[in-house]
Structure 1
Amino acid sequence: MGIVTTSAGIEMLLRWGHLLGGITWIGLLYYFNFVQTEYFKEADASAKADALQKLAPRALWWFRWGAVLTLLTGLGMFAVSAGRISSMDISIGALLGILMFTNVWLIIWPNQKIVIASAKQVAQGGAALPNAAEALAAAGLASRTNALFSIPMLYFMAASSHYPHLTFKFLPFIIAVVIILLLEYNGAYLALKRFDIVKKLPAAGKMGPYTSIAGVIHSGLGLAVVLFLLLDLL
């Protein structure tokens, strides 16, 4: 049989697509967080407005559809492997990736559309949209959270093949999941606080160390170390 008709061949093609989608997605995530955001802090108003109207929409298109390709090919590999979870590492990596995907489509992109629409309205002589600043803050925090998550996510995706934790350990896994979900709650809070149920929960939505590039990188590395130690030592 030809390689494409075997499960191993199909899985390899899906893995290839997963890598292509992931490189596109994460590469643009780093561009937004480490390049564009810093440029916007120093850019003239006219240059920033032009980039928001012409550059950002193009980059966001590749960004969000790269995320879709990454998710679909990842689910495809899971289906080809008959739903087998090979290690705790892939479970942690997949959880981080799925949260990052939901942040892209449910928080970052919807709020960036508001920011772009506001920039276009101002360029045409109108007033900025009243919720543009709030949308920018929500998208920015979710994007920083994704940058944070990407560092341990990339480690655990690689570790699932090269340094896997094959024995499932309930306690360290649950602790790891709780840590991740608490960080996600903080990252999504500004977008979710309009819902009544969220208003009853503890306030969050703090940038904290994410404000700087060094801060988000160090936080991501720290999170990766903490999660690794949980799986490796407990």
Structure 2
Amino acid sequence: MDIVTTKLGLEMLLRWGHFLGGITWIGLLYYFNLVQTEYFKEASGDAKSDAIQKLVPRALWWFRWGAMFTLVTGLGIFAVKGGGMSVDIYVGALLGVFMFTNVWLIIWPNQQIVIASATQVASGGTALPEAADALAKAGLASRTNFLFSVPMLFFMGASAHYPHPFHIVAFILAVAIILALEYNGAYPMIKNHSLVQKLPAAGKIGPCASIKGVIHCGLGLTVVLFLILDLL
């Protein structure tokens, strides 16, 4: 077996793993946003408490490790291919990396506080005072990930089926928009940093508070980023 065949085989295995990890990760992201959050709005206190203690931790385990597996296999693909890909894959990868950091640095740590609070209440104690704020931080980051997932999936597919040549101005403009949205989503976690305090306040969920709103915003972001890459 020559080196080219070996390289193609390794890339295919990595892509397969990337798909498996991505389906697990994004599938649970959509479950949290489209199903669980809406259910919790209507569930009785006991049912919600039981779900937070028993269901949510299991879902979050697959969620965060699905994200990890997706990132590792994605980096492996980059290593095997060695660069030279269309700008679409770099935009999609940037969105994916921010989504990964949101999972591990915002959503998971804050959900741990929410779970601990529910467990403490179920045991006859009082709710943790920081639980409500933690839930809001996790919710904003989760909605940001939903927003990012729509263009991320588009550009991952476009990299193979509708590729754009790398254009530095288009890439910088796309990155600036993504950074601004990530700043808004991460703001509650970083607002006390000395550098961030010099920047405009953010952290608003806005139209992404509703399912319809976040879907529309995700589609709109996809169109905007696509036009930037397509027209410049």
Output the amino acid matched with 2:121. V
Aligned to 1:64: 64
In the superposition, relative to structure 1, how do residues 143 and 210 fare at CA in structure 2: closer, same or farther (>3 Å)? same
In the superposition, relative to structure 1, how do residues 97 and 85 fare at CA in structure 2: closer, same or farther (>3 Å)? farther
In the superposition, relative to structure 1, how do residues 4 and 126 fare at CA in structure 2: closer, same or farther (>3 Å)? farther
Q: Deviations over 1:98-142 (max 9, x none)?
A: 000000000000000000001001111111111111100000000
Aligned to 1:19: 19
Query: Alpha carbon RMSD of aligned pairs, Å?
Result: 1.4
Q: What is the aligned residue count? A: 232
Aligned to 1:227: 225
Deviation at 1:170, TM superposition (A): 1.4
| Whole-angstrom CA distance in 2 between matches of 1:20 and 1:3 | 26
In the superposition, relative to structure 1, how do residues 3 and 17 fare at CA in structure 2: closer, same or farther (>3 Å)? farther
Residues 157-176 of structure 1: pairs in structure 2 closer than 5 A: 157-166=156-165, 168-176=166-174
| Whole-angstrom CA distance in 2 between matches of 1:35 and 1:189 | 25
Aligned to 2:35: 35
| Whole-angstrom CA distance in 1 between matches of 2:37 and 2:71 | 26
Output the amino acid matched with 1:35. V
| Whole-angstrom CA distance in 2 between matches of 1:30 and 1:94 | 19
Structure 1: gaps of 5 or more residues? none
Q: TM-score, structure 1 length as denominator?
A: 0.96
| Whole-angstrom CA distance in 2 between matches of 1:43 and 1:173 | 44
| Whole-angstrom CA distance in 2 between matches of 1:20 and 1:129 | 36
Q: Residues 53 and 116 of structure 1 are in contact (CA less than 8 Å); yes or no, is this contact kept in structure 2?
A: yes
| Whole-angstrom CA distance in 2 between matches of 1:127 and 1:200 | 37
Aligned to 1:100: 99
In the alignment, is residue 203 of structure 1 matched against residue 163 of structure 2? no
| Whole-angstrom CA distance in 1 between matches of 2:34 and 2:138 | 15
Residues 78-93 of structure 1: pairs in structure 2 closer than 5 A: 78-81=78-81, 83-93=82-92
Aligned to 1:133: 132
| Whole-angstrom CA distance in 1 between matches of 2:198 and 2:129 | 25
After the TM superposition, list the runs of 4 or more consecutive aligned residues in structure 1 that deviate by more than 4 angstroms: 2-5
Aligned to 2:51: 51
Deviation at 1:193, TM superposition (A): 1.7
Output the amino acid matched with 2:191. K
Aligned to 1:193: 191
Q: Residues 4 and 10 of structure 1 are in contact (CA less than 8 Å); yes or no, is this contact kept in structure 2?
A: no
Deviation at 1:70, TM superposition (A): 0.3
Q: TM-score, structure 2 length as denominator?
A: 0.97
Q: Residues 151 and 221 of structure 1 are in contact (CA less than 8 Å); yes or no, is this contact kept in structure 2?
A: yes
Deviation at 1:191, TM superposition (A): 1.5
Q: Deviations over 1:23-82 (max 9, x none)?
A: 00000000000100000011111111000000000000000000000000001111111x
Output the amino acid matched with 1:92. V
| Whole-angstrom CA distance in 2 between matches of 1:232 and 1:72 | 29
Deviation at 1:172, TM superposition (A): 1.4
| Whole-angstrom CA distance in 2 between matches of 1:56 and 1:3 | 45
Deviation at 1:190, TM superposition (A): 1.1
Deviation at 1:200, TM superposition (A): 2.6
